[in-house]
Chains A and B, each alone.
Chain A
Amino acid sequence: MNAPTYNFAYLDEQTKRMIRRAILKAIAIPGYQVPFASREMPMPYGWGTGGVQVTAAILGTNDVLKVIDQGSDDTTNAISIRKFFEKTAGVVTTTSTADATVIQTRHRIPEAPLHAQQVLVYQVPIPEPLRYLEPRETETRRMHALGEYGLMHVKLYEDIARFGHIATAYAYPVKVNARYVMDPSPTPKFDNPKMDNCPALQLFGAGREKRIYAIPPYTSVVSLDFEDHPFTRYKHDACCALCDSGDSYLDEIVTDNKGSRMFVCSDTDYCETRQSQGHRGSENAAPYAESKHA
């Protein structure tokens, strides 16, 4: 039997109620950052305590949980969070995007399309998209209240003037439901289009900054851009060396101490699923084809 050493999913019921109420407001006001009384969790802030608290508040015994960190299920961070919920909620975990009902993520949105029975929970370090432009909370709150986002456009336009394009590659700001400018957390801008009109509910938790925000399913999410400089998805001009995917987000990996490099999918579950379906990349030839690459 599970000894009741922990509260179910760690948090006490009063904290869960408070977080649950914040989540409902966040869904009702898409992109607006709802303040909440973030609790200490038995892990450092850098480990996504905001996401962990959101997951703890929604998770039930029927859920199947997946945790990814930079696209991988197997980093220390992802494994620790998965074990934390296995232990405190007795929940089933998976690495399969398709099988999961709750996916907690840091820095990526899975490549496999999300479906309506899923909730994607983001760990957010800095929820305020205007923070780098305006350090004062009273001022950023005012800008959101008025929908006054000129400063953000100026910043993006300065990029264009300096670099000839918008240089922001991560945490690229979006406008949610044609109203609030929102930070998608440090995901690559490659992932931004996946947030738009997504069938799954997306929840964002920032522990240190004590904010929860949300994108309901089927909600418009537009990356900020300019008519003469439209938003573009950036990715390396290569295919995955393991599964040959030409349209997934790639990490560049150093393969030996002579500096040899290859590109592989950042999303390990996506890559492994493709390989199991028989897709082979240049560094991962099937046995019968080995001679070709010898």
Chain B
Amino acid sequence: MSLFLTIKIALRALAANKVRSALTMLGIIIGVGAVVAMVSIGAGASQSVSSSIQGLGSNLITVIPGSGGGGQGGARQALGSATNLTVKDGEAIEDNIATVVRVSAEYNDRAQVVYENNNINATINGVTPEYEKVRNTTVEVGRFITESDVGTSDRIAVIGKNVVEDLFAGADPIGKRVKIQDIPFTVVGILESKGGASFISSDDAIFVPLTTAQNRLFGVEHVSQLGVEISDSEAMDEAQDAIGWLLLGLHGVADPEEADFRLMNQQDILETVGEVTGIMTALLGGIAGISLLVGGIGIMNIMLVSVTERTREIGLRKAVGAKRKDILKQFLTESVILSLIGGLVGILLGVGGSRLAAAAMGSETVVTVNSMVLAFVFSAAIGIFFGIYPAVRASRLSPIDALKYE
């Protein structure tokens, strides 16, 4: 029997029970829709996180302090709070390692910031002019911190986009005076928004010269991190090793296990984040996949009912010459059509749903062709897998038993 005819017969059989066919499809629609939506939301989240990490600067190695003593737990506790990383370390790195383009020494802490009646608690970033290049930052209005600002520990501030909203309620802040820990600062610039995940965004921060932060605001000598820009992504590993050995030498530590600092590069962070979002996506997709499985069982259930209902029809078809494979094909085609139409509608629904969810949550979604093809193929496979048992049962009916069936 031709494929065309097989499909025609299957469609007619499905149309004979429209509500039932639609309800059966609904299981697949929800399953495929959920898988597509979850995977796109997951992929979107992972993309937005990695693009904001990339936005922090390219070819970047970050040095953060950490007390010596090896053990992960111990080191972690002290991360960032240790005081052994200094501007001098940064200078040494820049001077001694050829592939290092520039080093941004930074000190950050939180402080109370007041403008007129507004009062916020913001991250204060003490930085040098290198920050702008190393951290991929662009000034939108005004200027960034200069060498001479740092030299004179000037009381000037460059602010992130969100601070303009929070502190100045959108008014032009250039030239205005804000008080950071009761010390007046003049706003000289606004940074372009980086968007993305706020926990690593500069949009909420206030930038002041490094020396101003160290001497006038927080009274410290050390820095909280060094951002090291490397000339070439190929040279990253080599540079990271070189920085490690150099700092070990400077800090007088012989055993790398005892290092009082940690090195992180962009790639490591990206990989870690990628792993986390990958697991999250797989988890969401897996949960959605269960509903697809349930949809498949629904198909099997309905096909079994259908085989029983149409036992006499099967008997008659066999009596006039249908072979096993004809009957098998007929019922398999029905279940595959159910799952494929369900899959197609599910894909549309999933894409629409993920767009809606993205709009509602203000996040991104990435609907890849891959995920759609996968969902489609998967739903066809579901149709075959769950259709095969009822179809085999139908095909094995003896013509005479089937004809006599009541």
Q: Do A and B come from one complex?
A: no
Q: Which residues of B contact A (CB under 8 A)?
A: none
Q: Which residues of A contact B (CB under 8 A)?
A: none
